[in-house]
Amino acid sequence: GRPTSPGERGKQLVVVANRLPVSWIERESPGRQYGWETSPGGLVSALLPILRERAGAWIGWSGAAGQAPEPFDHQGIRLRPVQLSAEELELFYLGFSNATLWPLYHDSVRFPEFRRSWWRSYVDVNQRYAEEAARSLEDGGTVWVHDYQLQLVPAALRERCPNAHIGFFLHIPFPPGELFAQLPWRRQLLEGLLGADVVGFQTELGRRNFVTAAVRYADARRIDDEVLEWRGRRIVARSYPISIDFTAFAELGADPAVRSRSEEIRDRLGRERKIILGVDRLDYTKGIDKRLKAFETLLARRVNSDLPSPVLVQIAVPSRELIPDYAEIRERVESYVGQINGEYGTLGRAPIEYHYKSIDQRELAAWYLAADVLAVTPLRDGMNLVAKEYPATRVDGDGVLVLSEFCGAAHELVDALLVNPHDVDGMAHSFERALSMDEEERRTRMGSLRDQIASTDVYAWAEGFLEDLNR
Ligand code: G6P
């Protein structure tokens, strides 16, 4: 990463996010190793250098219920763990955050549940994050709060630190008014967000939905498209599409060890077979079941053709397994994989290869290099960084991106093959088109995708947000 100094160099910055930027790792071999390891991902690598320069702190949860670790330093940054009890894990995290807000904010593709006990816990836990932030904050310092788990933190913090610069960024979509209106606590959530000076969204759509809701349900006054007035303060609402560390992925794509690993993958799967790759957290918003259906449709159409059958590799990263809707989509996906492989497989050659595990960035990059086509087909997604990582890794300039219109990324990556994931036949057709696209078209499209992604990396994203916040 490259160090940045947006806004006022040296002025303290505190980041508040549900999770800390580290996780506890224990390995048995080689030799017993354990300790805090920096989490992968663009957000963490963009913010750590800024925090280091601005004597910052990061407030978040370690990922385990019960007694929180004492504050500690990690790579020059003060980490302050927030405690969640086993009950709060259930009510705040699995409940209100991920079984109320998550489905509601993703177009209600699953029924959001509204429960008072979940809400009460959400309020308590948000207060705790705000208290912890207030404790770390120097007068006139800056706080950047992240994501849907912490929407009440800006106002709770404003009460304690009236002079703070408070920013909030929502990583997931902000839903349209008709859906947001269902929330019994819609006014309180909006008032929580309106405690910030800058509220950021992935897309213009999210910004617009928020502004409309704030006017309708929280009596905010609209000054212009991006400015609201509320209780005597001005609040900027703006879109800041997040990105990735482009250079880091490009470097992985050029790394000889990663390249030889990708050759190995191609050899193992069979050189004559084209590879369609899917990489997602195993979440019902990702449209994995529809993707499988589209692939099955493609196989059915090819039954009597001489074209070699492609292989679909689905890497599904375990996530929120204790929530019933997640257990259910896992079962559905896995039984469907079995069914399709039973029907269209031959001995030793299955049309779908399925992995249920997390993979590290080098292995991921090797898969990106091996894939002829990357299929990103969510029903709704705030941005989707996989869609940006794939082109960034393809330093060879080849490969085809099939991308759902319902991802934030689709607004920028217009040279992908855009699909409607609800239209299974249309998606099957786009897979066909991707598999048979000639090299010239592949290179033209991939070239413009790469240019687009390189033009605004995650460092520029963080700088842009903090500049507005410190203005
Ligand atoms: C999404 C959310 C993040 C969240 C991540 C992993 O990307 O926007 O806030 O951290 O999923 O989910 P988890 O529940 O494991 O933190």
> pLDDT of 143-174, one tens digit each?
999 999 999 999 999 999 999 999 999 999 99
**Arithmetic mean of pLDDT over the chain:** 95
**442 to 27, 355, 392: CA distances (angstroms):** 42, 27, 15
Nearest CA to ligand 1 atom 9: 147
Nearest CA to ligand 1 atom 14: 320
Which atom of ligand 1 is found nearest the CA of 172?
8
CA of 397 to the centre of ligand 1 (A): 31
**pLDDT single digits (tens) 255-290:** 999 999 999 999 999 999 999 999 999 999 999 999
Best probe residue, ligand 1, of 84, 88, 171 (max atoms within 8 Å of C-beta): 171
CA of 297 to the centre of ligand 1 (A): 32
pLDDT at 193 over 50: yes
pLDDT at 9 over 70: no
Query: Residue 52: which residues within 8 A CB-CB, separation 6 or more?
Result: 3, 75, 76, 77
Best probe residue, ligand 1, of 58, 93, 147 (max atoms within 8 Å of C-beta): 147
User: Is the shortest distance between the CB of 358 and ligand 1 below 6 Å?
Assistant: no
User: Is the shortest distance between the CB of 147 and ligand 1 below 6 Å?
Assistant: yes
> What's the pLDDT at 100?
98
Element holding 373 (H helix, E strand):
strand 373-376
| Alpha helix ranges (H) inside 345-438 | 361-370, 386-393, 424-436
| Cβ neighbours, 10 Å, residue 231 | 13
Q: How far apart are CA 382 and CA 101, in angstroms?
A: 13
Nearest CA to ligand 1 atom 8: 171
Nearest CA to ligand 1 atom 16: 19
User: Is the shortest distance between the CB of 319 and ligand 1 below 6 Å?
Assistant: yes
DSSP 407: B
Q: How far apart are CA 205 and CA 315, in angstroms?
A: 30
Please state whether the peptide bond connecting residue 30 to the residue before it is cis, i.e. omega within 30 degrees of 0: yes
Query: Residue 86: which residues within 8 A CB-CB, separation 6 or more?
Result: 65, 66
CA of 384 to the centre of ligand 1 (A): 12
pLDDT at 8 over 60: no
Nearest CA to ligand 1 atom 11: 281
DSSP 408: G
Stretch 413-429: mean pLDDT: 98
User: What is the chain's alpha carbon radius of gyration, rounded to the nearest angstrom?
Assistant: 23
User: Is the shortest distance between the CB of 23 and ligand 1 below 6 Å?
Assistant: no
Which atom of ligand 1 is found nearest the CA of 149?
9
CA of 51 to the centre of ligand 1 (A): 21
- Given pLDDT bands bounded at 50, 70 and 90, which one contains residue 330? very high
User: Is the shortest distance between the CB of 171 and ligand 1 below 6 Å?
Assistant: yes
In 334-367, which positions are buried (b, 16+ CB within 10 angstroms) versus exposed (e)? eebbeebeeebeeeeebbbbbeeeeeeeeebbbb
Q: Please name every residue paired with 375 in a beta bridge, in sequence order, or none if there are none.
A: 402
- Given pLDDT bands bounded at 50, 70 and 90, which one contains residue 32? confident
> What's the pLDDT at 2?
41
Query: How is the beta sheet containing 57-61 ordered, strand by strand?
Result: 72-74, 77-82, 57-61, 13-19, 142-146, 165-169, 198-201, 233-239, 227-230, 221-224
- Given pLDDT bands bounded at 50, 70 and 90, which one contains residue 28? confident
Best probe residue, ligand 1, of 15, 16, 18 (max atoms within 8 Å of C-beta): 18
CA of 171 to the centre of ligand 1 (A): 9
Stretch 118-138: mean pLDDT: 97
Q: How far apart are CA 3 and CA 5, in angstroms?
A: 7
Which atom of ligand 1 is found nearest the CA of 319?
15
User: Is the shortest distance between the CB of 317 and ligand 1 below 6 Å?
Assistant: no
Which atom of ligand 1 is found nearest the CA of 146?
9
Burial class from Cβ neighbours inside 10 Å (0-12, 13-18, 19+) for residue 455 reads: exposed
CA of 281 to the centre of ligand 1 (A): 9
**pLDDT single digits (tens) 373-395:** 999 999 999 999 999 999 999 99
CB 240 within 8 A of CB 201: yes
Nearest CA to ligand 1 atom 6: 319
Residues taking part in catalysis: 171, 381
pLDDT at 1 over 50: no
User: Is the shortest distance between the CB of 320 and ligand 1 below 6 Å?
Assistant: yes
Please name the amino acid found at residue 62: S
- Given pLDDT bands bounded at 50, 70 and 90, which one contains residue 42? confident
Please name the amino acid found at residue 463: E
Q: How far apart are CA 333 and CA 471, in angstroms?
A: 48
Question: In terms of residues, how long is the chain?
Answer: 471
Q: How far apart are CA 227 and CA 221, in angstroms?
A: 9
**425 to 341, 344, 381, 435, 451: CA distances (angstroms):** 20, 18, 21, 15, 31
User: Is the shortest distance between the CB of 19 and ligand 1 below 6 Å?
Assistant: yes
- Biggest alpha carbon distance in the chain? 72
Q: How far apart are CA 128 and CA 298, in angstroms?
A: 51
Stretch 348-370: mean pLDDT: 96
User: Is the shortest distance between the CB of 172 and ligand 1 below 6 Å?
Assistant: yes
Q: How far apart are CA 61 and CA 80, in angstroms?
A: 8
Stretch 128-138: mean pLDDT: 96
Query: Residue 265: which residues within 8 A CB-CB, separation 6 or more?
Result: 366, 367, 370
**pTM for this model (two decimals):** 0.96
**Residue 284, SS3 per DSSP:** helix
Best probe residue, ligand 1, of 19, 61, 174, 201 (max atoms within 8 Å of C-beta): 19
| Cβ neighbours, 10 Å, residue 375 | 31
CB 458 within 8 A of CB 429: no
CA of 18 to the centre of ligand 1 (A): 8
Counting Cα atoms < 13 Å in the Cβ hemisphere of 439 gives 2
Best probe residue, ligand 1, of 97, 168, 285, 319 (max atoms within 8 Å of C-beta): 319
CA of 383 to the centre of ligand 1 (A): 13
